[in-house]
Amino acid sequence: MANLFFPQLATGALAQYPIRKNIATRNIRNVLPDGSLVLFPDPEAGHIIWELAYQDLTAQEVSALTGLFTSCQGRFGSFIFIDPTDNMLQQSANLLASPWMASPGLSVRANALDPNGGTGAFVLTNNSQINAQLSQALYVPANYQYCLSVYASSQQATSMQITRTGPATAQASTVQLTNQWNRVTSSGALADTGPGITVSFGIPAGAQVTLFGPQLEAQPLPSRYRPTLSQSAIYTDAHWGVDALPVSAEAPNLYSTAFTIEAMTNPSS
């Protein structure tokens, strides 16, 4: 079931508003003989519940949902779920950490001034004679609609390439940078099949740029930046939270449904 993914709507979104997201945690309590308590968190027991409701779905969209539910045998099987309220990139707040990969000759320096007045930005310097990239690979469908965004600036006027690459195709956008912060984006869907997409920021030879807040979302336009560390919006062991998937026909080719999805907040995998 590793290749089962929650489907995207024809609009390029994963969900419809309102979305309710509940996070449950657990503490372990030990009562000592003298009556005192020792409490400590149990991070492996935390879980998230998404409450999702949909209106005006087409027959094709309903078929994709019911097909996934059947393939999972209801609650039993797992699938990969992209949280529509979060950032898909891991370590968006630390471009020096894995899984970010820098090309040879590309140096990354932390603690630069960011657009919010803090020091959360990173300076990327290409010391090589060819284009260099900072990239991250994700195991998600290549043909979904994605929006990649980042705040960028450069002390010297230069360009930067923002690329989304699948197993067989790629889409690249070239943006011009100045010494003023600007949130640049690249949005679209690859005409590609199979899982796997790599996003990258390409720096020309000899250029230096400052980046802050990279974000990838499974939707057409960017939303408010959400910093991430080890956990991102991609949950690889999500489960249906309902025993049956209710679907109502509101009109010809217009359907509605509501259900919950559950996943661990700190999966051991």
CA distance 68 to 66: 5
Q: Where are the domains of the chain?
A: 20-85+233-264, 101-217
Kindly state the helix (H) or strand (E) to which residue 253 belongs, with its residue range.
none
- When pLDDT is cut at 50, 70 and 90, the band that residue 1 belongs to is very low
CA distance 90 to 230: 6
CA distance 216 to 102: 18
Phi, psi of 95 (to 5 degrees): -75, 0
DSSP label at 44? G
Whether the pLDDT of residue 2 is over 70: the answer is no
Q: What is the mean pLDDT of the chain?
A: 93
CA 131-137-138 angle, 5° bins: 150
pLDDT digits (tens, 9 = 90+) for 128-139: 999 999 999 999
The rounded Cα 48 to chain-centroid distance in angstroms is 16
CA nearest to 212, candidates 86, 89, 130:
89
- When pLDDT is cut at 50, 70 and 90, the band that residue 42 belongs to is low
User: First and final CA of the chain: distance in angstroms?
Assistant: 15
DSSP label at 70? H
The position carrying tokens 């539910």 is 69
pTM over 0.85: yes
The position carrying tokens 């990838």 is 216
Residue 171: per-residue pLDDT: 95
Most confident of 34-38, 43-47, 237-241: 237-241
Q: Hey, which CATH number is domain 101-217, 2.60.120.260, 3.30.365.10, 2.120.10.30, 1.10.600.10?
A: 2.60.120.260
pLDDT digits (tens, 9 = 90+) for 177-226: 999 999 999 999 999 988 999 999 999 999 999 999 999 999 999 999 99
